[in-house]
Structure 1
């Protein structure tokens, strides 16, 4: 088979987004159907920029699974490793959109297909044909997916594949939010690159449930108390080569062992919906990285993709093309 650039692993879903922007959740009258999930969003964004991508995710033997796979096929993303897992259901997400700062989120993931990915599904993947693999934290939340992800990390490392972790903390997907940190810390040393927000880094070292506060059911935007400097130092001490901290409108920062923090400015835009911004960032960052750009320019590309997506209604369906990103960045003076 032909070499591929990027494999993403983990969550996929049908996303039902409020069609009544600004309406309180209880007054929503209609929803628009899109697709989502951190790995699916990254794969779509990367594919639209020009990378050759594939995804390992699971779908149920149901119409929602057909909906998800139809989208992936239409985008040109390789679905060779997307199994239909009998006895499971494809995942779903429901979202309210109340800009600028309220985005209540409800997950429907009981016995969902992607969390039933197993060792055999991973073993079928020819890791030697990929340059990079992007993992998401939620895929480590339950077995058999958790064990499958650790096995995928082993195989990726054996084949010298770049291993990227999007921390992707979703507190309600874990039986105890502290279990998230215990699990992710066990995996950190196997990654070359880790990407996350300050809150996600703090979640990685959460020791007390009282440190975590979720308002208005904003699962993707928790408030977490802790020492961010210590968190950054711990991640770098684990063996991670590069840590990228996403800072929203303030851009992002690059941290590497023994080096000073490098701040990369963002692009000021008016926010419509923040969901998917981090995934768009990872897509843009991956595009730069796999085209041998330096870290600064790659992160700047990630910032641009994230800025574009927050002005749009949804996630995967609205990921920008390379032409759109180029026009956007040129309007700000370039990368």
Structure 2
């Protein structure tokens, strides 16, 4: 099968509290959901009707079975998900204290995790090569053998063969607890940027990749690194996207924040959907921005990814609608 979007990297079980506004020590009950950024991105794009799959690994345990079941339920192909004997499926706990406090606690990822045991020889290179969009993250570069597997996947998609709707996207998703040093992260990001046609990150993540500076300066450096589209998330100032000849800003979409943790993944899946639809960059950015806002206004991540109709309705309500 040829996929509209094939993602690669982290997967986990998200354990989210049913008690809102209290610290984790005081939570009395939880719900469980599929989690892990690239897996959530695949779910988000599937909600927009795209053919998606994820390359990842779980533990050989009941939580691994649960994640297979959830991927299938959301319409994400789980054919590239395999178990790792002897490792447990990771779980991620969070506290939900709106509007800005959502601390994460990772379990089962140290010293390694199943999704960091993806091996280059086990990756379906044909599926990677044939996917219209291939999405990977900086987190997947933090440790071998996943580091080499991800680079091998990137090398299967020569940048000169991209364009006309085909993209390799590097999500600059940097989490310092997974890395030995920021210098190591920077080196790995720069190596993989050589193969990417799009880079997406917030100000801090872009600083790891190309150094500190204004959003425009960071976007320009990403373009100099070789990508054709640089996307810099600016927090309360919105989102900036630049190409060699275009500068586009999407203003924030105000919502009442319930849980900000899944907004970036919703943005990613919606961004891919807009690219696949062939929309102009302003519409792609506005649609992705609104999709992220919707998830921020909800509690869960994967379970609460919006449909295209919900996103377009929100844009209409904010006076920013367009003909999709």
Asked if 1:36 is matched to 2:41, the reply is no
TM-score w.r.t. the length of structure 2 is 0.92
Gaps of 5+ in 2: none
What's 1:263 paired with?
Answer: 249
State the alpha-carbon separation in 2 of the partners of residues 326 and 302 from structure 1.
10
Q: For 2:260, what is the secondary structure of its paired residue?
A: coil
Asked if 1:247 is matched to 2:252, the reply is no
State the alpha-carbon separation in 1 of the partners of residues 7 and 246 from structure 2.
30
Asked if 1:73 is matched to 2:60, the reply is no
Q: Say whether the 8 Å CA contact 1:81–1:124 is kept in structure 2.
A: no
State the alpha-carbon separation in 2 of the partners of residues 121 and 130 from structure 1.
17
Asked if 1:179 is matched to 2:166, the reply is no
Q: Say whether the 8 Å CA contact 2:41–2:265 is kept in structure 1.
A: yes
The CA RMSD over aligned residues, in Å, is 1.7
Between 58-67 and 176-185, report the one with greater CA deviation: 176-185
Q: Say whether the 8 Å CA contact 1:136–1:165 is kept in structure 2.
A: yes
Asked if 1:195 is matched to 2:194, the reply is no
Q: Say whether the 8 Å CA contact 2:140–2:146 is kept in structure 1.
A: yes
What's 1:129 paired with?
Answer: 130
Q: For 2:42, what is the secondary structure of its paired residue?
A: helix
Seen in structure 2, the aligned counterparts of structure 1 residues 129 and 187 have a Cα distance that, compared at 3 Å, is closer
Q: Deviations over 1:39-61 (max 9, x none)?
A: 11100000001111011011110
State the 1:91 CA deviation: 1.8
State the 1:203 CA deviation: 2.2
Work out the number of aligned pairs and report it.
314
Q: For 1:4, what is the secondary structure of its paired residue?
A: coil
TM-score w.r.t. the length of structure 1 is 0.89
Q: Deviations over 1:43-90 (max 9, x none)?
A: 000000111101101111001111111100111211111111222221
Q: Say whether the 8 Å CA contact 2:210–2:222 is kept in structure 1.
A: no
State the alpha-carbon separation in 2 of the partners of residues 18 and 122 from structure 1.
35
What's 1:147 paired with?
Answer: 148
Q: For 1:281, what is the secondary structure of its paired residue?
A: helix
Seen in structure 2, the aligned counterparts of structure 1 residues 203 and 124 have a Cα distance that, compared at 3 Å, is closer
State the 1:323 CA deviation: 2.2
State the alpha-carbon separation in 2 of the partners of residues 283 and 260 from structure 1.
22
Gaps of 5+ in 1: 207-225
Q: Say whether the 8 Å CA contact 2:248–2:281 is kept in structure 1.
A: no
Out of 154, 164, 169, the position equivalent to 1:164 is: 169
State the alpha-carbon separation in 2 of the partners of residues 46 and 32 from structure 1.
23
What's 1:209 paired with?
Answer: none
Out of 252, 255, 258, the position equivalent to 1:272 is: 258
Q: Say whether the 8 Å CA contact 2:140–2:147 is kept in structure 1.
A: yes
State the alpha-carbon separation in 1 of the partners of residues 235 and 217 from structure 2.
21
Q: For 1:126, what is the secondary structure of its paired residue?
A: helix
State the 1:246 CA deviation: 1.5
State the 1:324 CA deviation: 1.7
Q: For 1:83, what is the secondary structure of its paired residue?
A: strand
Between 57-66 and 27-36, report the one with greater CA deviation: 27-36
Seen in structure 2, the aligned counterparts of structure 1 residues 175 and 42 have a Cα distance that, compared at 3 Å, is same
